[in-house]
Amino acid sequence: MEGPRFTWGDTVRVATGALQAWRSGAIAEVVGFREVDTPAVALELDAAIGSTLYLVEFSDGSSLEIPEAAIEAAEEQ
């Protein structure tokens, strides 16, 4: 497996096609990441074992753990 695509402090956008519960389209900052390592986590977050989950923090201070497939690089503003 390759390393994570994003790292701490990176500004990302939750993909517009992502679940609304993950705040689709919102900008966030990566504050952590880990590998999906159990079937339970894979099922809960609809992510493959071995894929990366990102803990992202939004401007309101809230945070969510979101699979890499639902995260994209934020466009420069």
Q: How far is 19 from 31, CA to CA, in rounded Å?
A: 20
Q: How far is 47 from 27, CA to CA, in rounded Å?
A: 21
For the chain, the first-to-last Cα distance in angstroms comes to 32
Q: What is the phi/psi pair of residue 52, to 5°?
A: -100, 140
- Say what the pTM is: 0.89
Task: Band the pLDDT of 4: cuts 50, 70, 90.
Answer: confident
**Looking at residue 54, what is its pLDDT?**
97
**Looking at residue 76, what is its pLDDT?**
59
Q: What is the pLDDT of residues 34-64, one digit of tens each?
A: 999 999 999 999 999 999 999 999 999 999 9
